[in-house]
Structure 1
Amino acid sequence: MNRIAICGLSNRAMGMYIEPIFTNFSDNNQIVGLLDPDPRRYELAKESFPKLNTVPLFSPDRFQQMVEEIRPNTIIVTSRDNTHIDYILQGLKNDLTVITEKPMVINANDARRVVEAEKNSNGKVIVTFNYRYNPFHRKIKEMILEGKIGRVTSVDLNWYVDTYHGASYFKRWNRNRKHSGGLSIHKSTHHFDLVNWWINQTPEQIFAYGALNYYGKNGELNPSPIDNRYCGSCEEKINCQYYMRWSNRRNNITAKDDHIKVDSIEKSSRNYTNYRPDSCIFDQEIDIEDTYAVTVKYKQGAFLSYSVNFSLPYEGYRLAINGTKGRIETQEFDEPSRVPFPIPEQTIDYYPLFGSKEVIHVVQNEGGHGGGDPLLQEDLFLGVDPVRPFPILAGAEAGAYSIAMGEAVWRSSKENRPFSIEELLREPSHPSH
């Protein structure tokens, strides 16, 4: 029996791990401990899953006591990003399997510490990069491995985050770099890992530009320069286009998604102690960027041209992968219920360098993140699929590269210079404590 402790009772913890463990994987997996600093989250978890009533709660400073008392084999880290490092290192010290949500940590120095700690442990780190499991993404990996486009020479990836999803990051703790590392880490590390996995090359150098164009104190759509407002009590929300796009004047019901699984902003505020996930997207304290343009050079010769924008009319991405023998293209429109116009079916277009175009209709499966979440859960709780022809589950090294790339992006945009990944992952001469 796999004995599991959950570190961080976030919405992600409940929807992605606790619920499926009880529903689909209880024969071989048992939740034996919960850890969170907020007693209200514990109460909410028990209300949602009565089976947790007998599972003990531990505060973050009682991690070692938790390990000794309940003897887990595995911990799942689903807490706020900046706390991941503490639980991962303590888990490895106790030779546990550590399953961590992405991003693994929030800076390259901590990523290096995790890699080193894993080398000295009988435990291991698994980073849950669920984008790898999306059926389109798996098919692209398969095509590259088959040599359909030859040696990969360049990748163009443009990611679009709509006004609902994008604004949600600026209402919550993600808006502070000290908590999230910024969106080049919290969000873009998903995308960097995906490209690294697809092309199987090692990132070497990055140059980037970044800006805060939509949110923060200078946001052009800010109804007024007042600070410290909250959506649930704001008297100006009817004049806020970001709020009203997803609400109505009758009852201000806000749309649902898997980032804030609640019926309303007001209800969400009651789900925490001394924290509100509805802070104003135009507050002065926001210190991260919402727009990036990035160039990456890989050691094996490929280039990546990447951009991401967190305030667009629709959600999705456009991708092109070029190689010595051809080209792969695809475009995704995510969250179709939030797209205000007809959208085409996603396909993969394959263009051989000399020959006819092929349009590939991919076999899909249900589940979150394009069908990726259920397959990831199976690998985590049943063991890696033995018939899969290539590895998907990510470890600490993949997590570290994605983090270093994300840090290089925002540092390059601040210092106006290229950053090498080796420079960021190299052991510092004066390690921070």
Structure 2
Amino acid sequence: MKRKYAICGVSNRCLKMFVGPMVTTFSNQAEIVGLLDIDPRRFEVGKAKYPMLADVPEYGPDDFDSMVEQTKPDVILVTGRDDTHVTYILKALQHGLDVLSEKPMATTGADCQRIIEAERSSKGKVTVAFNYRYTPIHSRIKELVLEGKVGRVTSVDLNWYIDTYHGASYFKRWNRIREHSGGLSIHKSSHHFDLVNWWTGQQPVEVFAFGALNYYGPEGELNPKKEDGRHCSTCEVKPDCHYYMRWSSRGKEIDVKDDHIGAVAASDTQAPYSEYRADACIYDSQINIEDTYSVNVKYNQGALLTYSVNFSLPYEGYRLAINGTKGRIETMEYHSSGRVPFPVPQQTIDYFPLFGSKETIHVVHRQGGHGGGDPTLLEDIFLGPDPKRPYTILSGSTDGAYSVGTGEAVWRSVKENRPIRLDDVLALP
């Protein structure tokens, strides 16, 4: 059955992740009937990229009710800046509509609580697009846990590495303001916390964390000049900026990474996006989030998580170990292999039974974003969950809330220098 979708937030992620497949692969299942955004320029960019959207009505940020009344959607797709998610999710649920939200579902535990309470009294249901669950390696790890390979999960070690290109990008744009993104312990780490919650089948109950702003902001050790308001495209000291020159040269400007909102290049003087640039200086005093975390999480069935993330490293990837009463799972992944400055092996999973010999498990890797996870996620969204899959993978509002709640507990623990219970952030059953 074809369902009608209205989109709130015509972002780069929206166009690439959802609109493209909706107007091609899933055109028999999905119809886009409305576009809502604060910036009319985004409508122009979206319709230029996908001419089949030419006749889709456009709405401003305060026109949600009119959009629903006029276009009569079945689903609201929420893909704008993180802090806008809660507004449109709540409005959709008030209208009894289903919601498909980009992660994070919201930027605070309190807003997640509002969403869950609204969903309880609505006909609509919330789905959160946690595409990392669908990466073949991650799905296979879930299956190994369900098969009992590690027994009862006792601890998880997860260390995430973000390179100087990707990491610096968060500090060039809106993510660098906690009020917009919730900080990187929510905007980015919610992905990681959701994976651990899903792999273990357990819920977080308490968090203690340390964190700091080590690389970016005005006190960054590599800051070539303490001066606010600079932008990469016009900066006079960029030849002295290690982060800029690592990925650029005197003859080639850096291609600013902005997955979620997107931006017309600052040099495009004809029609840049209004009031937004994605090349702000990574050393601005405006930055009020952390770039380094070391975290401990306790779960309701006894598992313990040791987690770290660093947003300024020479390469990108992660190391994972899941320990249990019957064995251990290990894996190492290198992201963005085109930017890794050395050869990298294809990712596999190593399984060590508590008593026995090591087994190396290979998986069939797929094409597509997020390690091949995006296409399979979209199949579940638009075609329905795979009936042959023996476990739940598509995420709901409770999943979204626990991932955000953990992320908020992290930065609050950093600021308050004390353990934070999830009950202090969320009031979930």
Q: Which category of TM-score, normalised to the shorter sequence, fits these structures?
A: over 0.9
Separation in 2 of the partners of 1:268 and 1:201? Answer: 51
Aligned to 2:90: 89
Letter in 1 for 2:285: Q
113-122 vs 271-280, greater mean Cα deviation: 271-280
Does the CA-based 8 Å contact 2:152-2:325 persist in structure 1?
yes
Please name the residue that 1:325 is paired with. Answer: 326
CA distance in 2, matches of 1:269, 1:298: 53
Offset of residue 249 of structure 1 = 0.9
Alignment CA distance shift 1:33-1:264 (3 Å)? closer
The size of the alignment, in residue pairs, is 427
Q: Does 1:286 find its partner at 2:295?
A: no
TM-score between the two structures when normalised by the length of structure 2: 0.97
Letter of the 1:368 partner, please give it: G
Could you report, residue by residue, the CA deviation over 1:85-129 in whole angstroms, capped at 9, with x for unpaired residues?
Answer: 000000011111100000000000001111111000000000000
Cα distance in 1 for partners of 2:121, 2:361 equals 45
For residues 267-312 of structure 1, what are the alpha-carbon distances to aligned partners after superposition, in whole Å with 9 as ceiling and x for unaligned?
4995411211110000000000000000000110000000000000
* Partner in structure 1 of residue 302 of structure 2: 301
Q: d(CA) in 2 for partners of 1:202 and 1:74?
A: 28
Q: Look up the match of 1:189.
A: 190
The amino acid that maps onto 1:386 is P
Deviations 1:213-238 (A, max 9, x none): 00001011111101110011111111
> How many Å separate the matches in 1 of 2:201 and 2:269?
41
Contact 2:13 2:261 in 1 (8 A): no
Tell me the distance in 2 between the aligned counterparts of 1:399 and 1:170: 24
Q: Which moved more, 1:132-141 or 1:268-277?
A: 268-277
Contact 1:163 1:242 in 2 (8 A): yes
The one-letter code sitting in structure 2 at the alignment partner of 1:175 is R
Find out whether 1:272 has 2:273 as its counterpart.
yes
- Are residues 1:44 and 2:45 paired? yes
CA distances 1:238-279 after superposition (whole Å, capped 9, x unpaired): 111101111111132437685687796634995411211110
In 2, Cα distance between equivalents of 1:426 and 1:418: 17
User: For 2:52 and 2:255, how far apart are their aligned partners in 1?
Assistant: 30
CA contact (8 A) 1:41 1:271 kept: no
- The 8 Å contact of residues 263 and 273 in structure 2, kept in 1 or not, is answered as no
State whether residues 254 and 265 of structure 1, in contact with CA within 8 Å, keep that contact through their aligned partners in structure 2: no
- What is the distance in 1 between the residues matched to 2:194 and 2:39? 32
Instruction: Pick which of 12-21 and 247-256 moved more.
Output: 247-256
Partner of 1:120: 121
CA deviation string 1:338-370 (max 9, x = no partner):
011111221100000000100011111110000
Question: How far apart in 2 are the matches of 1:256 and 1:35?
Answer: 23
User: The residue matched to 1:64 in structure 2 has which SS?
Assistant: helix
**Unmatched segments (≥5 aa) in structure 1:** 428-433
Cα separation, 1, equivalents of 2:269 and 2:384: 35
| Cα contact 1:247–1:255 (8 A) shared by 2 | no
Verify the 8 A CA contact 2:76 2:92 in the aligned structure 1. Answer: yes
How many angstroms apart in 1 are the aligned matches of 2:367 and 2:207?
A: 36
User: What is the CA RMSD across the aligned residues, in angstroms?
Assistant: 1.6
Amino acid at match of 2:110: N
Q: Is the 8 A contact 1:176 1:288 kept in 2?
A: yes
| Structure-2 separation of matches of 1:233 and 1:360 | 50
SS, match of residue 149 in structure 2: coil
Q: Which amino acid is 2:3 matched to? A: N
Cross-structure match for 1:430 = none
Q: Structure 1 CA distance, aligned partners of 2:343 and 2:27?
A: 41
Specify the code of the residue in structure 2 equivalent to 1:340.
P
- How many Å separate the matches in 2 of 1:204 and 1:110? 18
Q: Report the equivalent of 1:129.
A: 130
Mean Cα deviation higher: 382-391 or 162-171: 382-391
Give 2:148's aligned residue. 147
Cα pair distance change 1:268/1:201, threshold 3 Å: farther
Q: 1:419-430 alignment to 2 at 5 Å?
A: 419-426=420-427
**Residue 166 of structure 2 contacts residue 257 of structure 2 at CA under 8 Å; is this kept in 1?**
no
Counterpart amino acid of 1:114? I
Task: Tell me if the contact between 1:135 and 1:371 (Cα under 8 Å) persists in the aligned partners.
Answer: yes
Structure 1 equivalent of residue 177 of structure 2: 176
In the alignment, which residue of structure 2 is the partner of 1:24? 25
Contact 1:170 1:280 in 2 (8 A): yes
Give the structure 2 partner of residue 69 of structure 1.
70
How big is the shift at 1:165? 0.4
Aligned CA distance change for structure 1 residues 131 and 104 (closer, same or farther; 3 Å): same
Distance 1:129 1:297, change over 3 A: same
Q: Is the 8 A contact 2:12 2:261 kept in 1?
A: yes
Deviations 1:386-427 (A, max 9, x none): 111111100000111111100000000000000110121139
Change (3 A) 1:245 1:330: same
Distance 1:186 1:126 in 2: 17
Q: Which residue number corresponds to residue 12 of structure 2? A: 11
1:176-233: CA deviation from partner (whole Å, max 9, x where unpaired): 0010010001000100000000000111100000100000010111111011100111
SS in structure 2 of the partner of residue 320 of structure 1: strand
Aligned residues of 1:268 and 1:277 also touching (Cα < 8 A): no
Give, as a single letter, the amino acid of the residue that structure 2 aligns with 1:129.
F
Aligned to 2:247: 246
Do 2:218 and 2:285's aligned partners in 1 also have CA atoms closer than 8 Å? yes
Other-structure match for 1:219:
220
Residue 431 (structure 1) aligns with? none
What amino acid is aligned across from residue 239 of structure 1 in structure 2? D
Q: Who is 1:336 aligned against?
A: 337
Which residue does the alignment assign to 2:382? Answer: 381
Displacement of 1:60 in angstroms is 1.4
| Residue 416 (structure 1) aligns with | 417
- 1:155/1:265 CA distance change after superposition, 3 Å: farther
Task: Give the secondary structure class of the aligned counterpart of 1:54.
Answer: coil
Instruction: Look up the equivalent residue of 1:230 and give its one-letter code.
Output: H
Distance 1:343 1:261 in 2: 29
Distance of 1:256 and 1:411 partners within structure 2: 28
Spell out, residue by residue over 1:42-74, the C-alpha distance to the aligned partner (whole angstroms, 9 max, x if none): 111111111111000111111011101000000
Structure 1 residues 128 and 241, CA gap change in structure 2 (3 angstroms):
same
Corresponding residue SS for 1:294: strand
Query: What secondary structure, in the 3-state scheme, does the structure 2 residue paired with 1:132 have?
Result: helix
C-alpha displacement of 1:382: 1.1
Q: Per the alignment, do residues 396 and 260 of structure 1 end up closer, same or farther by CA in structure 2, a change over 3 Å counting?
A: closer
